[in-house]
Amino acid sequence: MSGRLDGKVALITGAGSGMGRCAAELFAREGARVVVADYDDAGGKETVDAITATGGDATFVRADVSRAADCEAMVQHAQATYGALHVLYNNAGVFPADDGGVLDTPEATWERVMDINLKGVWLGCRAGIPALLASGGGSIINVASFVAFLGAATAQIAYTTSKGGVLAMSREIAVEYGRQGVRVNALCPGPIETPLLAELMSDPARRQRRLVHIPMGRLGQAEELAKAALFLASDDSSFMTGAALVVDGGITAAYVTPE
């Protein structure tokens, strides 16, 4: 049985844990050769081991996406290992606990979030687009968020701003490369049940404050987001570019007033 990504080479940043790992494993099951890029060596190698244990093909490269040299090196690793690049999934991101209101978020926190969540996506695209073009085109998936469309229920100024930037950037690059075979779409998840979010929502009151705004009444699962990413990575979305695929349990469809 053929997979939806047979013959494709996919590079996924932040693939050492959470949504990135889930997507890496799914892409591999669908036939892709996967480049696992992550700042965490142990996590990245665990993802590779999980893929190869089930017969998939994956390789790890250490990358800090806020560094141009690392982004260039991860793309070069993909080309050197597999000879091509067809899918670039810019998934890596951070959400520091002290990212709060506009008046109380530390400047260092703002800069770190922008460096990874926004600059990191730009650097990934800048490094990856020439490789995608050389491979005959491909798909770029940039992780934005539902907060690119509306303000969050709890203050998170740096994260929200960074994700709005990712959405705008994705549209800009999609227009620039639309006639050259490179599709660029933003994946906009709502709250997804990951270790990062579990830590941020360990306070029951803070968890409930978020759940009350989700019409489906629950957090999303990493597998649900990975399947959306698979759609954008595959030829099933061949006429989609410059779009925002919102996977948020209905949050952006609802009218709510923060408590």
CA atoms in the 13 A half-sphere facing the CB of 211? 14
Angle between helical axes of 157-177 and 120-134 (0-180°, round to 10): 20
Enter the tokens of residue 138: 């491909």
Type of residue found at 163: K
Which among 97, 95, 87 has a CA at the least distance from the CA of 142?
Answer: 87
Q: Is 82 a catalytic residue?
A: no
Among candidate residues 39, 159, 177, 255, the one labeled active-site is 159
> Which residues are marked as active site?
159
